[in-house]
Structures are given as structure tokens and as C-alpha cells.
Amino acid sequence: MHSAHARRSLRLINDSGAISAASAWLRTLGESFELGSELVFRLDLCASELVANIVSYAFEDEAPHTVALDLILEPQSVKLVVADDGREFDPLALPEPVAPATLEEASVGGLGVHLVRQFADQVSYERVSGRNQVTLAWPRPGRPGLAGRAPIRRGVERRRKPAAGFPLACGDGTRIDADRRSGGDRRALGFISRIELFRDVPYALIEGLLAHCPQRDYPDEYVVLAPGVPNEYVALVLDGRLRVHLDAPGTAGQPGDYTPIVAGECAGELSIIDGEPASAWVIAEPGTRLLLIDGHTFFSELLPLPRVARNLLGMMAARMRRTNHQVVERIRNSMLLERLQSEMRTAQEIQTGMLPMRSPMFPEHMEIECEANIQQAREVGGDLFDAFFIDEKRLFVAIGDVCGKGMPAALLMMRTLTTIRSEAGRKQGQKGHLERVMERINRKLALNNERMLFASLFIGLLDTGNGTFRYASAGHPRPALLRRGADCSLLKVPGNPIAGIDPAISYTLGETRLGRGDLLLLYTDGVTEAENVRAEQFGDARLLATLNGASKGSVSDAIAAVRDAMRLFCGNHPQADDVTLLALRYLGHG
């Protein structure tokens, strides 16, 4: 709980910044002492009007003078004392304003002091030691009313005071048939002190101009302005936020690039000034409240006020700087992205160029059919395959999937592929050849592998003379084997760890004999783990059933059948993994 007694003081120099400084000081104290929004509004309004009057009219010289504000909290009341050493001026001695006969006879300003008398419960004035001292008082929120002297007569509120009888005649012959103001409660315009456009502008100058302007709430996201559409209002943000998009905006969750317009700022002023349609998208976010100022009021009545025009130029300059910064960053990021995409395309070309993409792969070898196909989920991927003869009779085949995606996976893939070729091509005799190839590949991938990258691999060596097929797996999916006259099944493969983690692993091999017409399909997990919109996987069973249906076709037909089955199963659901297939059929010698 705050103390029942408190006093806070503020000393200001008589320049234009004094008004906003006094306003900010009172709002801060009001929140600190829990004075409530209604009293804080009245304190802010009265202090702004009094300080504006002092700064504008109190001093005859150009020397700096002090304006003193004291906020005094007592158990039953709140007092604001405003003092200055300017010319003697008693605001209570001013007569009530007389309504003009025509608009041309109406003076600008001069109503602020009367506004203070209406919004304070007690007002007193005295001249003490050559200083003007105005004391305002209100009941403290939640306390009984003030005792003692009776409050100053407040009279009829200015917004309800009869002006000259309508219609009014202007000097140019224009008739004003009715009061254009809404007659709403002035407290509804308490936002004025929070609007950057009206900073340091006396409340009395603009309160009447804004009274008729509608406020609009947007509970949901709403397009306030769109390119090419005529605009009739300047939108002042009271609460929430606007987004200005140069390009078409994205979804609510992914709005794309934009410039924010926050509470206190405005949008749409350029199209009002130049009369052209809007040039950008302006989106109100959910919970936004706007004050809509029509073009005539903004252009003809607000902009002629020097401080409003200056504030507007400052706001536009700040927004332009923010927008320019965003544009520069956007261009820089676009150039970086373009460069990265170019490098990725080059990497893809290099990566693709390393794979044996010819079809058929070995037309000169009538004893086998061999085809391969790869579909990458990104520009560069982590899948690999290879097939080559290490001598006249022995065909080496390999397929693999390195961990990760993108450039790191592509680099590891190329490293793995070059290691496979260098090790498999070594002249080291037939006995133990495949074991040594797998162990050396694993050891080289594990060397200096601080990031713990790894690869699943399946390698095999087919003797095309007799159909003997020896193979080793490092954590890779088991190939599918379709023997002539039998159902397709998965090849029996000894279990071994993935390659690249432990350099000391010894790999166990498997062996089988292929008969004439037998088909072996090697693939990566992008085949069996492909998903549809229901998150169901393609799986081993669908793969085997598909190959059973393609038993009488060529190896190209088998690959195409698997591709078609996956496309039918997955539909348009995007896939996150590469899909690689290598089909090998043993035909034997004639």
C-alpha cells in the first residue's frame, strides 16, 4: 500500500518538450500511486493545457525560465500545483468564451484554460513572490469527497455549450447546417496524449477536430488497405498493431516481410495527401483499434497545425528509415540466397555427375541387367549408389544413405562414394576382399569424425560366371530378392552397425547364389518410410507385393513399378527423404 501522504516535484524549462515531459511524468506517477485511469486522464489534460499556455504566452523574453509542477497526495485528495515566474495571469478571471457569429471570427486556441476549469474539481490561483501558482484538486480515488471550500462552478461542458445558432455562414458563402461533432464523452478521446502525431499539441486544438471521427475495432485479422484501392481515411492505431506489406501478405502464422505500425502511429497518410490509391497492403492484427480520420479533417484542419505537420514528417522519416533498412536487408538476403542456391545447384551437378546415371548401365555385359534411379528430396541429398566391374567377371554394387540432409549430407555422401571406389578397386585378391573393403570404408569415415556423422551401407560382389553373390550391410535396409517362379522376399542379411562411428568394427558377410532370371532390388529407407497424408508408411509388404507384380518385366519395369506404387500411395504428400533404387537381374551366360 502507498503512503497516505506523498509529494513529487518536477522542474521544466519553458520549451516545447515541457508539455510531453509533464504528461509522461504524471502518467507514470498515476500508475505508481494507482490513481485510476479517469483521474490520470484529467491530470494529464489539465497539466498539458496549463504548461502549453505558460510556454506560449507567459514570458516576454527568450531567456530560459522554470515551470514547476508538484503532485501532492493527501489522505482525501490529490492536488496538482503548477507555478511559473511569467507575467501575472489569473485563469479564474477569464470570462466564459463567447461563441463566434461566423467561423472566420473564431480564434484558434484560447479554450485550454476553460477546459482546465471544467476538468478539475477545485481550482485556485494566487500570485506569490512574483510567481503565478495554480492549484488543482480532486478527490483521491476510493476516498470520501473533498471537504471545505465549495468547488468552482464548472458550467456547461464545452462540447454541449450552444455555439452560434446554426446554420453558420462562412466568408466564402459556405453554409454549415449542423454541428459536425459527435457529442460523445470527451473521456473517449483520452488516447490523444498517447498519439505521436499529437505530441506537444495542446489538447484544445485537436479535441474538437477528432470528436466526430469514428473508432473501429478489429477482433480478427482484417485488410484495411489494399494496393490500387482508393483510400479515404488516415488510420491512427489506438491499440494493437498494423502490418504494412509491400508484397501480398502471407498467412496469419507466416505474415512474411512487413513494416509494423504500432499504437500511437498512423497509416494511409500518403494516399490522403497525394490523392492516389493505396500502394501497399495494410493489415490490422486481431485486437486492433483504429481512429479513422477523414481526408478533409486530416488535410485541411490537422496538417495546418505546425506541430502536427512536424510530428507527421518525423514519423514518416522514421518509418522510411525502417523500411529502407528492411529493403536493404531483404536485398542482401536475396543476394545471399541466390548465391547459396547457385552453389547448391553446382553441388547438385557435381554430386549427380559422380553417380553412374547411364541406362542401361552395362550394355556390353549380356549376363546381367542393371539399372538405378535416384530422386532427391532437396537440391543435394545424402543417398548414393554405384556399380562397376572390378575385373572381367566380378560386379561390385553399393547403395547407401548418409545421416542428415542438405550440404553436410552431400559432402559426406561424396566422401563415402570416393572411399568406396578407392577401396573396392584395390587389387587385393579374391579371398577376404569384401570384408576388407567394408572395414576400410568404416575406418576412414570414422577418422576425424568429431561431428559423429555416419552412413548406412550395403555392398555386394556378384560373380557373373556362376551367380555367387557375397554381401555386407552396415545398418542398411535388407534388399528384396525375387527368384524366378517364387514370391519376393527380403534377403537374409547379417546384422552389423552403421559405418563411421567405431573404427574397430569387424563386419560379418552373407552369401547367396542367384539363378537365371533372379532379380535383386537394393533401395534406401526413403522407399519403405515414404508416408501418405495419414502418416502411414509405404512399408516392406507393399514393396514386395509391387515386385511380385513386376516379375516378368525388365529391371527398368521393376523400378518404374515401385515408383508408380509409391506415387499412388503418397499422393501429393511431400516426402522428407531421398528415394534411391538399384535393380540387378542375373541372366547367366548363354
At residue 251 the predicted structure's pLDDT band, cuts being 50, 70 and 90, is: low
Please report the pLDDT score of residue 529 as a whole number: 92
Residue 224 in contact with residue 242, Cβ under 8 Å?
yes
Please report the pLDDT score of residue 343 as a whole number: 66
Say whether pLDDT at 588 is over 80: yes
pLDDT tens, position by position, 429-468: 566 788 888 999 899 888 877 777 788 999 999 999 999 9
Say whether pLDDT at 147 is over 70: no
Domain match, 280 and 309 both:
yes
Say whether pLDDT at 54 is over 80: yes
Domain match, 347 and 374 both:
no
Which residue is it, cell 503548477?
Answer: 82
Please report the pLDDT score of residue 270 as a whole number: 82
Residue 437 in contact with residue 424, Cβ under 8 Å?
yes
Average pLDDT over residues 315-320: 78
pLDDT tens, position by position, 387-407: 999 988 999 999 999 886 667
Average pLDDT, the chain: 81
- Tell me the sheet residues that pair with 242: 261, 284
Which H or E run includes 351? Answer: helix 306-354
Q: Sheet holding 288-294: strands in order across?
A: 215-218, 288-294, 233-239, 266-267
At 78, which CATH number? 3.30.565.10
Q: Is residue 178 part of a domain?
A: no
The percentage of the chain sitting over the pLDDT mark of 70, rounded to a whole number, equals 82
Q: Tell me the longest C-alpha to C-alpha distance in the chain.
A: 126
Please report the pLDDT score of residue 280 as a whole number: 87
At 375, which CATH number? 3.60.40.10
Say whether pLDDT at 564 is over 90: yes
Q: What is the rounded CA–CA span in Å between residue 458 and residue 478?
A: 8
Q: What is the rounded CA–CA span in Å between residue 371 and residue 557?
A: 10
Domain match, 37 and 108 both:
yes
The more confidently predicted of residues 358 and 177 is 358
Say whether pLDDT at 101 is over 60: no
Q: Is residue 236 part of a domain?
A: yes
Domain match, 141 and 248 both:
no
**Beta-carbon count within 10 A of 489 CB:** 15
Q: Is residue 519 part of a domain?
A: yes
**DSSP letter (8 states) at residue 367:** T
Domain match, 418 and 333 both:
no
Average pLDDT over residues 246-267: 76
At 237, which CATH number? 2.60.120.10
Please report the pLDDT score of residue 152 as a whole number: 38
Q: Sheet holding 489-490: strands in order across?
A: 368-375, 579-586, 519-523, 480-482, 489-490
Please report the pLDDT score of residue 108 as a whole number: 41
Q: What is the rounded CA–CA span in Å between residue 181 and residue 213?
A: 8
At residue 427 the predicted structure's pLDDT band, cuts being 50, 70 and 90, is: low
Q: Is residue 528 part of a domain?
A: yes
**DSSP letter (8 states) at residue 121:** S
The more confidently predicted of residues 96 and 33 is 33
Average pLDDT over residues 35-40: 87
pLDDT tens, position by position, 519-559: 999 999 999 999 999 999 999 999 999 999 888 889 999 99
Average pLDDT over residues 477-482: 96
Cα–Cα–Cα angle for 454, 468, 436, rounded to 5 degrees: 40
Please report the pLDDT score of residue 501 as a whole number: 87
Domain match, 245 and 305 both:
yes
At residue 347 the predicted structure's pLDDT band, cuts being 50, 70 and 90, is: low
Name the most confidently modeled range: 4-13, 136-145, 519-528. Answer: 519-528
Closest CA to 57 of 115, 14, 20: 14
At residue 252 the predicted structure's pLDDT band, cuts being 50, 70 and 90, is: low
Q: Is residue 59 part of a domain?
A: yes
pLDDT tens, position by position, 11-27: 988 887 788 788 888 88
Q: How far is C-alpha 480 from the geometric centre of its chain's CA atoms?
A: 47
The percentage of the chain sitting over the pLDDT mark of 90, rounded to a whole number, equals 32
Domain match, 286 and 434 both:
no
Domain count, the chain: 3
pLDDT tens, position by position, 481-517: 999 889 999 999 998 999 988 888 889 999 999 999 9
Say whether pLDDT at 125 is over 50: yes
Which residue is it, cell 570414422?
Answer: 446
Closest CA to 39 of 5, 89, 79: 79
Average pLDDT over residues 202-222: 82
Domain match, 228 and 344 both:
yes
Establish whether the linkage from the previous residue to 494 is cis, with ω within 30° of 0: no
Say whether pLDDT at 164 is over 50: no
> In the listed set 331, 354, 377, which residue is the last one of a domain according to the structure?
354
Q: Is residue 196 part of a domain?
A: no
> In the listed set 304, 333, 354, which residue is the last one of a domain according to the structure?
354
Domain match, 303 and 363 both:
no
Cα–Cα–Cα angle for 6, 7, 9, rounded to 5 degrees: 155
> In the listed set 165, 192, 225, which residue is the last one of a domain according to the structure?
165
Containing structural domain, residue 474:
356-586
Closest CA to 81 of 69, 92, 90: 69
Average pLDDT over residues 35-45: 87
- What pTM, to 2 d.p., does this model score? 0.49
Q: What is the rounded CA–CA span in Å between residue 312 and residue 195?
A: 11
Domain match, 19 and 71 both:
yes
Q: Is residue 347 part of a domain?
A: yes
Please report the pLDDT score of residue 167 as a whole number: 54
Domain match, 410 and 346 both:
no
Please report the pLDDT score of residue 189 as a whole number: 57
pLDDT tens, position by position, 351-375: 677 788 788 899 999 999 999 988 8
Q: Is residue 190 part of a domain?
A: no
Least confident of 184-198, 285-299, 417-431: 184-198
Domain match, 267 and 313 both:
yes
Say whether pLDDT at 256 is over 90: no
